[in-house]
């Protein structure tokens, strides 16, 4: 499997390749469609039955237990950020594909099938919120809600998926008994501690605030300064206040104001609406809530003094999610059997495995990221670490498809 995994990663990295060595495969784009078609082609050639559900989630089921109506899910996502890395998401899908096809080819008794999954719109780069496909699968969102999400140009996710031929009709017809995902850490803990495998125990909490600062359009030239209701100025004030407050807080926080959308988006018109995407993370979600509330209270009067208003576009609280303790224990045991140095750890970032934990035992495995860099073309996980992660995934799948009870 190791050589197969590296070859698969190299092949998929060609789809949407960027000049800096990364990939750009936004959900519903032509590049996303090409990656999906290649995934389906390879999985089918290796003996899987591929189906696509109503929100584009792809399920490649290898019949390791043909008479069973149960399956172990294993996978991640093939969509990326605009300047994404070549391993983020892809490693989880392709390590599952390599392992499942090898186990299926070798044969042998099993109690459960293996279904390799490509979840739709994990990144949330084109359509928000993120973790869309896996959240529909667990019932958090409806398919209609997901398909109705729109990008900056007003194109819906349903329209984009239909355009590339992946607006499906076939929900998974097997009962999943557990879920498994391999991912690059996207942080520096494993590298800094000299460890090779992370068994994720739980996630940090997060509050995602999307605020629209509202003013009025007017000409940037003749309009008297005192009569302007400049939403861009209000947004800039709020962003500055946000960073200052986060730095002053005593709690351990990761925060960002990473996306801004201005309307009418003309250099000669004072902005009438500016939408800013704020994010606050802490191991305890309640801390994120309290910090966010203080931020909202602080900016209200200052924005009002500029003649502008604030509309809350989204206010999403994601509590920290605990992952399956048995899966953590099995991951540590398998790593030990393989001679790999492993540890239990938290994840700061969101992953499909966290969404799926609401519906079944779910396990998330990390391998190191060089310099902790991610969502960047220069993201790097070394070949030996890729192989180590693939070996852990294969061993866990072999263990779990043979288990009486996967929960």
Tell me the binding residues for Zn(2+): 77, 88, 123, 183, 375
Query: What count of other Cβ atoms lies within 10 Å of the Cβ of residue 48?
Result: 24
Cα separation, 112 vs 406, whole angstroms = 9
Query: What count of other Cβ atoms lies within 10 Å of the Cβ of residue 264?
Result: 11
Q: Is the peptide bond before 264 cis (omega within 30 degrees of 0)?
A: yes
Query: What count of other Cβ atoms lies within 10 Å of the Cβ of residue 93?
Result: 28
Q: Is 132 exposed, middle or buried (0-12, 13-18, 19+ CB in 10 A)?
A: buried
In sign, the C-alpha dihedral spanning 101, 386, 178, 148 is: negative
In degrees, to the nearest 5, what angle opens at C-alpha 278 toward C-alphas 186 and 241? 120
**Which helix (H) or strand (E) segment is 248 a member of?**
helix 231-248
Could you list the residues known to form a binding site, using ranges: 77, 88, 123, 183, 375
3-state secondary structure (DSSP) of residue 302: helix
In degrees, to the nearest 5, what angle opens at C-alpha 294 toward C-alphas 316 and 246? 85
- Checking 250-255 for CB contacts under 8 A at 24+ apart, the result is 251/282, 251/287, 251/291, 252/282, 252/283, 253/280, 253/281, 253/282, 253/287, 253/291, 254/204, 254/280, 254/281, 254/282, 254/348, 255/279, 255/280, 255/281
DSSP state, residue 50: E
Cα separation, 271 vs 347, whole angstroms = 38
Per-residue tokens: 331: 């991951």
The CA-atom distances, in angstroms, between 216 and each of 154, 227, 260, 276, 310 are 22, 10, 17, 17, 13
Strands (E), 12-126: 49-52, 58-62, 70-76, 113-118
| Strand partners for 277 | 210, 259
């Amino acid at each position: 499997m190791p050589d197969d995994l590296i070859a698969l990663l190299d092949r998929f990295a060609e789809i949407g390749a960027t000049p800096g060595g990364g990939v750009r495969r936004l959900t519903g784009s032509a590049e996303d469609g090409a990656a999906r078609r290649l995934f389906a082609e390879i999985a089918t050639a290796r003996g899987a039955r591929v189906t696509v559900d109503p929100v584009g989630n792809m399920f490649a089921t290898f019949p390791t237990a043909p008479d069973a109506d149960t399956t172990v899910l294993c996978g991640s996502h093939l969509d990326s950020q605009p300047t994404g890395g070549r391993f983020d998401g892809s490693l989880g899908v392709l390590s599952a594909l390599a392992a499942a096809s090898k186990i299926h080819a070798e044969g042998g008794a099993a109690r459960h099938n293996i279904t390799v999954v490509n979840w739709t719109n994990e990144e949330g780069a084109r359509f928000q919120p993120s973790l869309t496909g896996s959240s529909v699968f667990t019932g958090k969102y409806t398919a209609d809600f997901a398909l109705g999400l729109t990008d900056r140009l007003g194109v819906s996710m349903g329209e984009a998926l239909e355009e590339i031929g992946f607006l499906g009709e076939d929900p998974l017809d097997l009962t999943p008994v557990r879920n498994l995902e391999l991912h690059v850490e996207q942080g520096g803990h494993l590298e800094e501690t000299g460890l090779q495998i992370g068994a994720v125990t739980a996630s940090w909490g997060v509050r995602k605030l999307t605020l629209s600062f509202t003013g009025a359009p007017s000409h940037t030239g003749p309009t008297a300064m005192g009569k302007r209701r400049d939403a861009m100025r209000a947004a800039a004030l709020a962003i500055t206040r946000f960073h200052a407050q986060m730095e002053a807080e005593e709690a351990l926080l990761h925060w960002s104001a990473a996306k801004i959308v201005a309307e009418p988006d003309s250099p000669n018109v004072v902005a009438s609406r500016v939408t800013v995407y704020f994010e606050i993370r802490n191991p305890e979600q309640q801390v994120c809530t309290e910090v966010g509330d203080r931020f909202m209270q602080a900016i209200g009067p200052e924005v009002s003094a500029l003649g502008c208003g604030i509309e809350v576009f989204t206010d999403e609280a994601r509590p920290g999610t605990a992952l399956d303790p048995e899966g953590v224990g099995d991951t540590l045991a398998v790593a030990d059997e393989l001679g790999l140095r492993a540890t239990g750890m938290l994840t700061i970032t969101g992953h499909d495995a966290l969404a799926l934990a609401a519906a079944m035992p779910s396990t998330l495995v990390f391998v190191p990221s060089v310099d902790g860099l991610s969502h960047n073309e220069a993201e790097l996980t070394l070949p030996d670490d890729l192989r180590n992660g693939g070996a852990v995934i294969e061993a866990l799948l072999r263990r779990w498809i043979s288990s009486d009870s996967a929960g």
